[in-house]
Amino acid sequence: MSNPAKRIPVHLITGFLGVGKTTAINHLMAQKPEGERWALVVNEFGQIGVDASLLDAGDGIQVKEIPGGCICCALGLTLSVTLVNLLQRFKPDRLFIEPTGLGHPAGILDLLQGEQFNEVLELHPVITLVDARQLDDPRVMAHETFQDQISLADILVFNKSDLATPEQTALAVQQAGQLFPPKLAVLTCQQGQLPLSVLDSAVQLIAASREQKQVIGHETTGSLIRQGGVTLPFLAMPQPGQPVCQQGDGLGAYSVGWVFHRDDAFDEDCLYQWVDQQKDLLRLKGVFRVGSKTWRSFSKVGSELVVQPVAYRRDSRLELISEQPLDAAALQQQLLAMTYKPAPATLFD
């Protein structure tokens, strides 16, 4: 299917073990508009599936279960086959994927946006559920999967707010607001009671921002738009080869930042060299796509550079802070010179 307007919306809903993903999905399923066909792929780590039996597969809802491992890794081929069968036989209007709480969901994003499905499925913002009380558990905080789930989330939902203390919830929301890259939205809810509007708010507002955006030179003025109980900060959306640039100054410092389209990949060797050449900065931090399925976070203070793999997949972005004004146009030319269009990711990469 080559017409993007007819692509099927797909929603990836992640979260660590016991956070209430199944309850939240049940609540969304109960709000399904009459006449629509929804499909859900649910993955359990254990060999005996239980989650699917807890889901209310009502009229117009098809549930497929993949037990016995992680669809993000060992069961990737099984997920691909399951999706093809669902799309061909059930022809859903909307698709949901709930990976196991122990899964690495970045692999699912790579599959959904790879050459097999990118013309058929439209990936909507990733929703990650978190129990604010988990932030007090060092085992959870240190778990690589938990960190990946937080990193790749577009919308972060602190569920079970009725069970957490007000102090735990407030601290969780405060810490979420300090994450880089920033989230599209940070929400709280009880018993997984997400509004149906959370599924489409981000996509609708992105389209609206393209019509309402104000561009001054290289600087784009974003806005805070409230819709369906979800507050989302927006810059104009970048296009391939056309990053969005934003500049600011205050408190004796100057900043410039860019957001690049996810299809703009960076030559990794050139990127390392360029970062090394940036000597007179107070701070450099960014997330870059450096291959079909490879993303890196860069953080530099002074001469100390830390580079790590990251699960984030929404876009590439960079922020520079300096005591002196920065030549945004020249820097942008240097950055674009390092970009290329990567080959589509495949299941067997």
pLDDT tens for each residue of 101-154 = 777 788 888 888 888 898 899 999 999 999 999 999 898 898 888 999 999 899
**Residue 146 included in any domain:** yes
**Residue 218 included in any domain:** no
249 shares a domain with 189: no
Query: Per the structure, how many domains does the chain have?
Result: 2
**Residue 289 included in any domain:** yes
What's the confidence (pLDDT) of residue 240?
93
The CATH number of whichever domain residue 296 belongs to comes to 3.30.1220.10
33 shares a domain with 114: yes
**Residue 222 included in any domain:** no
Final residue before a domain boundary, out of 170, 199, 228 = 199
61 shares a domain with 160: yes
179 shares a domain with 34: yes
| Pairing status of strand 8-15 against strand 94-98 | parallel
Tokens found for residue 109: 């994003």
Task: Taking the CA atoms of 193, 124, 119 and 82 in sequence, report the sign of the dihedral they define.
Answer: negative
**Residue 217 included in any domain:** no
Beta bridge pairs of residue 129: 15, 157
DSSP per-residue codes, 230-264: EEEEEPPPPBTTB-EEEEEEETTEEEEEEEE-TT-
**pTM, full prediction:** 0.71
Tokens found for residue 201: 């708010």
282 shares a domain with 177: no
67 shares a domain with 166: yes
Final residue before a domain boundary, out of 151, 184, 199 = 199
249 is in which domain, residue-wise?
Answer: 238-340
Burial 319-333 (b: 16+ CB within 10 A, else e): bbbbeeebebeebbe
> Residue 25 above 50 pLDDT?
yes
Which comes out higher in pLDDT, residue 227 or 4? 4
**Residue 129 included in any domain:** yes
Predicted confidence (pLDDT) per residue in 170-204, tens digit: 999 999 988 888 898 899 999 999 999 888 866 55
38 shares a domain with 91: yes
**Residue 216 included in any domain:** no
Question: Among the residues of the chain, which ranges form H helices?
Answer: 21-29, 51-54, 76-85, 106-112, 138-141, 144-152, 166-176, 201-212, 268-277, 328-336
> Residue 231 above 90 pLDDT?
no
Q: What percent of the chain has pLDDT over 90?
A: 42
192 shares a domain with 336: no
What's the confidence (pLDDT) of residue 197?
87
236 band by pLDDT with thresholds 50, 70 and 90: low
> Residue 291 above 50 pLDDT?
yes
Of 255, 267, 250, 236, nearest in space to 340 by CA: 267
267 shares a domain with 332: yes
**Residue 220 included in any domain:** no
- 3-class secondary-structure state, position 332: helix
249 shares a domain with 173: no
